[in-house]
């Protein structure tokens, strides 16, 4: 292949898809390389059996843990990446997360930018991904320059009861920010039908604000954008000095036949583990430890949250359909009574018997279907997240067979236990003292906890010091002049809220920086309203924003 692109982007998920969307109006020639395909719309999208029991949308990769035991990671190789399956809970980090925070197991390091510097891109991300919510309701949140585009998703009666009970108990529940294409004021025009299958399922009606629907599909048909699917990037080639990427080597179809694509700028956004893998596999005489890895930081500091799914069983049935409308950050930080930060509590998608069986095969193996049905009917599902710390020995390396080896041990278990204690007190306040906690990582893991890689981050952190970071503040590799990383790899710390909005905001930020480097003015990046296409599979001509 001899054609030269202005920008080659590897991966079409939260990072890569959003970055392509940012740059596309500039007219620059963009090549998107995606190892997966479009996720097929089929009845199985919403069927918990295929989704949770059969793992239909989990890619058949083999990775190894630190002891060399193989496992199947919960990764999703599609246009849109992990966001095709995500729960679309789109939180900002707290301002303090951008600074240094002390934890039970060590220090969560500061970012090289402050929350206030990052804030404009959070706002852009919330408007692009059509987030529903209300700024000002969560006492721990930072300043915001613009309200969310859509009002919060309304609570169903059972969740409203819980919210009211929490307030009476002195807590500060707030509406969870959610990226769905829902218009509650005009249900007939709404793409989203407010079903129970958002979290962990692909959206059959394309009403979830994922990177495929929001960022990539609007680019199809643009003359300056090329998307190649089933195009797995295996390594990068450089000039002899290792300072410039000269070729992106792609395996199309897994038959070992390679093609090489050329671009002035190359952006890796293959997800935190796979981006590290590509860099490590790009070792050369000039970069013997892997590309951009003179600091030996590539692949290190892997984080994925210390999380727990907790299912509380009440006496009264829980008829809620769309459950992810409530969250609470009262325990996010240390205070006078609490020595350490504990984390965030939010709702999970409503469980059902089949999903419970799929996610917890050991626990539920002996339970007859009817009893699980009964359990699911009364279940209220919560998700508890404690920050995971970046540890140099929690890392991605590449095995001799070319697959990822993920060496990992938990951090902040005592904080996670503290959060669970607080959660139990909450249950007393809301009349749900009878409860049962399912295995850690309800939606993120299968049998092997380390397989729950949904919130993977940190393997190429950004910073000002080339000795301790892989990327500079613009997410350009310190050691390579035309190489950027724009997925969750760049996180120096992960906070205790879901990571996608931060990845999206950063991708817009990096995209704007690259545009500037290519001589594109900020105004040339604006999407004209008529350019903005309807989310595929819907009948609308635009994705309206309700607030101004």
Using CB under 6 A as the criterion, which residues of the chain lie in contact with ligand FAD when the complex forms? 10-16, 33-36, 76-77, 81-83, 85-90, 200, 232-233, 269-272, 274, 278, 443, 454-455, 487-488, 498-501, 503
Q: How far is the CB of 45 from ligand FAD (least distance, A)?
A: 13
Supply the DSSP string of 61-109, one letter for each residue: --EEETTS-EE------BTTGGGGT---B-PPPPGGGGS-EEETTEEEP
Give how far Cα 51 sits from Cα of 7, 40, 406, 537, Å.
35, 13, 25, 21
Q: Between 85 and 416, whose beta carbon lies closer to ligand FAD?
A: 85
Which tokens belong to 224? 């300056």
Three-class DSSP labels, 484-501: EECCHHHCCCCCCCCCHH
- Comparing CB distances to ligand FAD, the nearer of 104 and 119 is 119
CB 212 within 8 A of CB 537: no
Cα dist from 429 to 171, 194, 423, whole Å: 10, 28, 10
Give the separation between CA 142 and CA 419, rounded to whole angstroms: 22
CB 264 within 8 A of CB 29: no
The answer to whether the CB of 225 falls within 8 A of the CB of 32 is yes
Closest to 361 (Cα-Cα) out of 451, 452, 453, 445: 445
Contact 483, 291 (CB under 8 A): yes
How near is the Cβ of 425 to ligand FAD at its closest, in Å?
25
If the CB atoms of residues 419 and 444 are measured against ligand FAD, the closer one turns out to be: 444
In whole angstroms, what is the distance from residue 443 CA to residue 356 CA?
A: 10
What does DSSP say about strands 101-103 and 106-108: parallel, antiparallel, or unpaired?
Answer: antiparallel
| Cα(316)–Cα(311) distance, integer angstroms | 14
Q: Determine how β-strand 4-10 pairs with β-strand 30-33.
A: parallel
**Shortest separation between residue 536's beta carbon and ligand FAD, angstroms:** 17
CB closer to ligand FAD out of 53 and 165: 53
Nearest to 229 by CA among 382, 35, 409: 35
Q: Which helix (H) or strand (E) holds 386?
A: strand 379-386
Smallest gap from residue 75 Cβ to ligand FAD (A): 7
Q: Based on CB atoms, which residue is closest to ligand FAD, 399 or 540?
A: 399
In whole angstroms, the minimum distance from the beta carbon of 229 to ligand FAD comes to: 9
> Which single residue brings its beta carbon nearest to ligand FAD?
13
Nearer to ligand FAD, 270 or 419 (CB): 270
What is the C-alpha separation between 309 and 319, in angstroms, rounded? Answer: 19
Q: How far apart are CA 371 and CA 66, in angstroms?
A: 38
Task: Kindly tell me which of 340 and 491 has the beta carbon lying closer to ligand FAD.
Answer: 491
Q: Minimum distance from CB of 111 to ligand FAD (Å)?
A: 17
Minimal distance, residue 15 CB to ligand FAD, in Å = 3
Place of tokens 């956004």: 269
Residue closer to ligand FAD, measured from CB, 503 or 508 = 503
* Least distance CB 302 / ligand FAD (angstroms): 13
Report, in Å, the least distance between residue 431 CB and ligand FAD: 27
Q: Which of these, 410, 496, 450, lies nearest to 108 by C-alpha position?
A: 496
Smallest distance from the beta carbon of 335 to ligand FAD, in angstroms? 26
**In whole angstroms, what is the distance from residue 321 CA to residue 428 CA?**
23
Nearer to ligand FAD, 234 or 313 (CB): 234
H helix or E strand, kind and range, residue 437: strand 435-437
Nearest CB to ligand FAD, comparing residues 78 and 423? 78
> Closest CB to ligand FAD among 30 and 432?
30
- Nearest one of 378, 455, 475, 374 to 85, comparing CA atoms: 455
**Shortest Cβ distance from residue 370 to ligand FAD (Å)?**
27
Residue 504 Cβ vs ligand FAD, minimum distance, rounded to whole Å: 8
Closer by beta carbon to ligand FAD, 85 or else 225: 85
Residue 145 DSSP symbol: S
Q: Which is nearer to ligand FAD, 90 or 345 (CB)?
A: 90
CB of 268 to ligand FAD, least distance (A): 9
Contact 453, 441 (CB under 8 A): no
The conformational region for residue 230 under phi > 0 = left, psi -120 to 50 = alpha, else beta, is left
């Amino acid at each position: 292949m001899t054609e030269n692109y202005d920008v080659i982007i590897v991966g079409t998920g939260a990072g890569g898809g959003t970055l392509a969307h940012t740059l596309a109006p500039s007219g620059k020639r963009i090549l998107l390389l995606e190892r997966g395909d479009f996720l097929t719309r089929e009845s199985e999208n919403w069927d918990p059996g295929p989704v949770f029991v059969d793992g239909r949308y989990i890619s058949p990769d083999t990775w190894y843990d630190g002891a060399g035991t193989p496992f199947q990671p919960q990764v999703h190789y599609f246009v849109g990446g992990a966001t095709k399956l995500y729960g679309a809970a789109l939180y900002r980090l707290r301002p303090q997360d951008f600074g240094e925070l002390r934890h039970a197991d060590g220090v969560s390091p500061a970012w090289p930018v402050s929350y206030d510097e990052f804030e404009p891109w959070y706002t852009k991300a919330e408007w692009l991904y059509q987030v529903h919510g209300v700024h000002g309701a969560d006492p721990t949140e930072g300043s915001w320059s613009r309200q969310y585009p859509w009002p919060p998703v309304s609570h169903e009666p059972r969740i409203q009861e819980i919210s009211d009970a929490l307030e009476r108990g002195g807590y500060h529940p707030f509406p969870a920010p959610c990226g769905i294409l829902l218009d509650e004021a005009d249900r007939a025009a709404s793409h989203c039908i407010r079903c129970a299958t958002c979290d962990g399922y692909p959206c059959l009606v394309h009403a979830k604000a994922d990177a495929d629907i929001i960022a990539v599909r609007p680019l199809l048909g643009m003359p300056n954008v090329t998307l190649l699917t089933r195009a797995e990037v295996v390594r990068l080639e450089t000039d002899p000095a290792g300072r410039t990427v000269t070729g992106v080597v792609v395996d199309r179809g897994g038959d070992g036949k390679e093609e090489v694509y050329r671009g002035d700028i190359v952006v890796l956004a293959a997800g935190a583990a796979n981006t590290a893998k590509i860099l490590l596999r790009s070792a050369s005489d000039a970069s013997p430890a892997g590309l951009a890895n003179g600091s030996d930081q590539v692949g290190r500091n892997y984080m994925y949250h210390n999380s727990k799914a907790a299912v509380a069983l009440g006496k009264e049935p829980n008829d809620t359909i769309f459950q992810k409308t409530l969250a609470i950050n009262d325990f996010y930080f240390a205070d006078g009574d609490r020595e350490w930060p504990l984390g965030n509590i939010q709702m999970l998608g409503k469980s059902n018997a089949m999903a419970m069986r799929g996610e917890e095969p050991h626990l539920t193996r002996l339970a007859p279907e009817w009893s699980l049905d009964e359990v699911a009917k009364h279940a209220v599902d919560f998700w508890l997240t404690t920050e995971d710390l970046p540890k140099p020995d929690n890392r991605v390396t590449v095995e001799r067979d070319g697959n990822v080896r993920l060496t990992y041990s938990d951090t902040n278990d005592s904080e996670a236990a503290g959060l669970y204690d607080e959660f139990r007190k909450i249950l007393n306040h809301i009349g749900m003292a009878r409860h049962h906690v399912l295995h850690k990582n309800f939606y993120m893991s299968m049998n092997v906890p380390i397989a729950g890689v949904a919130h993977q981050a940190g393997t190429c952190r950004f910073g000002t010091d080339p000795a301790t970071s892989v990327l500079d503040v613009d997410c350009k590799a310190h050691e390579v002049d035309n190489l950027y990383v724009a997925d969750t790899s760049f996180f120096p710390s992960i906070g205790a809220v879901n990571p996608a909005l931060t990845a999206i905001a950063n991708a817009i930020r990096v995209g704007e920086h690259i545009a500037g480097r290519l001589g594109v003015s900020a105004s040339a990046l604006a999407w004209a309203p008529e350019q903005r296409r309807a989310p595929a599979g819907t009948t609308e001509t635009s994705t309206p924003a309700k607030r101004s």
